[in-house]
A and B are shown apart, each in its own frame.
Chain A
Amino acid sequence: MSNALPVVDKKFEPKDFKSDLKPIWCPGCGDFGVLQSLYRALAAIGRPAHEIAFVSGIGCSSRIPGYTTAYGFNTVHGRALPIAQGIKIANPSLLVLCAGGDGDGFSIGGGHVAHAVRRNIDLTYIVMDNQIYGLTKGQLSPTSPRGLKTVTSSLGSLEDPVNPLLYVLGYGASFVAQGTAADLPGLAAIIEEGIRFPGFAFINVQSPCVTYGEDEWQIKEQRARMKSLESLGHDPKDQLHAMDLARAYGKELYTGVFYRNPAPSPTYDQLVLERQKEKGASAPDPARVLDSLIQR
């Protein structure tokens, strides 16, 4: 008899999604917890790693695909969403995950978010929000609070932060949630729900940077201030109330689902597939497509 415990009659365990590559994040970084929660969410979803594509931009947080057994693509700063959308349209049967930092998603890549939202393309976008540029050593990010002193704002920032929750709600996102690395079971459940949602799911994760982040947003402090939306009696179908609650970003730490559209519009990938089926029969011979565009 082997010395290993018999396995549970279940398809996947969190460790099935853990790659051999070991994270090089600073010890104590919130991103470790996000990764753990993601392993658990993927085990619960039960799709094998080879059916998952995980796309990120550039930043400390964007290293995350490499630490999973999914197909990973650590792309270009700010361009995770366009590439993830391309992958989803080219191969709609893949489960597509997208992740990155607050800088990646709301500075250089900010323009792409609106278009992923309005297409309701079926992918899950996880922003690991630490209110700072971690990888490049602590510059102001779009979610840094007004007054924050950093290497690029030695006298304190003069700008109000972007509110990622209101931003995506304002564009009409159908699934908007927030989790924190201070509550790993809660975060795992939110990621799982986001992946199951048929359409674009946006999850903002408060994932503190221990090296350059603010003291009052570290794990211990987050644990003390977090409040679940469920405990407040919030109905995730209520879009206006979701927007009202989202206004507290940066002041309160609400966790859970702000908004889940009970009747989401068809996903872009689905519509593309239908269009392909519809027009497929009368489509020109691919070898002749160029000819039709070139005047000889």
Chain B
Amino acid sequence: MTTTRGIDFAHLSLKDALDLAVLVEEEAQERYDEFTHQMKTHDTPEAASFFAFMSRNEKKHGDELRARRLELFGDAPRSVERAMIFDIEAPDYDQARAFMSARQALTAALASETKAHAFFVAALPAIQDPKVKALFAELRDEEIEHQKLVQAELAKLPPSEDLGDAFADEPVAH
């Protein structure tokens, strides 16, 4: 469930907007790392390797944004922080399941990219600074690209092999 706390979108500076975008990617990367570990611990290797792939993607996006921020603003203090964002691009914890199929893992990631897109769409009207507006529009459009990437991976999968929860074993951590 995407939420923000204490962000004044109307007065967001470009530096704050870039920092926010980095934090969003960091949060998503961390969550995918957690999911990767959860899947490895619970004998779900296919989903684990897909979540690891998503983590690498989020890291790449984060690094690009971080480099831009440092180039433009150097080490000027940051005034936005992680506590201001909740699950913007990070998949919700309840999306993970032991023995989830690759299709379910990809569907969870797609839902997160859709959620992130909705976040930028919703924030845009309040933003006043034209440079921030342009950045948010760029990030919104990138989310569409990310969705396409996941959709392309989904298309490569064989038709649904999900048997539903009724056939699932109880999870056991290793």
| A interface residues with partner B (beta carbon < 8 Å) | 1, 3-10, 13-15, 22-30, 32-33, 36, 40, 43-44, 137, 181-185, 210-211, 218-220, 223
Contact = CB atoms under 8 A, between A and B. Distances in A.
B102 to A, nearest CB: 15
B96 to A, nearest CB: 4
Q: Considering residues B42, B80, B94, which has the most beta carbons from chain A within 10 angstroms of its beta carbon?
A: B94
Nearest to B5: A185
Contacts of A211: 170-171
Contacts of A27: 35, 38-39, 42, 44, 96-98, 100, 171
Interface stretch (B67-75, B123-131, B139-147, B151-159): B67-75
A219 B94 contact: yes
Q: Considering residues A23, A24, A223, which has the most beta carbons from chain B within 10 angstroms of its beta carbon?
A: A24
Given A24-B173, A32-B34, 12 more contacts: A3-B67, A4-B66, A5-B22, A5-B69, A8-B77, A8-B78, A13-B81, A13-B82, A13-B83, A23-B38, A28-B95, A218-B94
A20 to B, nearest CB: 12
A3 B22 CA distance: 12
A137 B22 contact: no
A8 B86 contact: no
Q: Which 5 A-B pairs have the closest CB atoms?
A: A27-B96, A24-B173, A219-B94, A32-B93, A27-B38
Contacts of B87: 184
A44 B83 contact: yes
B1 interface: yes
B160 interface: no
Contact of B98 (A26, A32, A220): A26
A183 B1 contact: yes
B57 interface: no
23 contacts: A1-B70, A3-B70, A6-B76, A6-B77, A7-B78, A8-B78, A9-B77, A10-B81, A13-B81, A22-B37, A23-B38, A24-B41, A25-B173, A26-B173, A27-B38, A27-B98, A28-B93, A30-B93, A32-B93, A36-B93, A184-B87, A211-B170, A211-B171
Interface in B69-118: 69-70, 74-83, 86-87, 92-98, 100
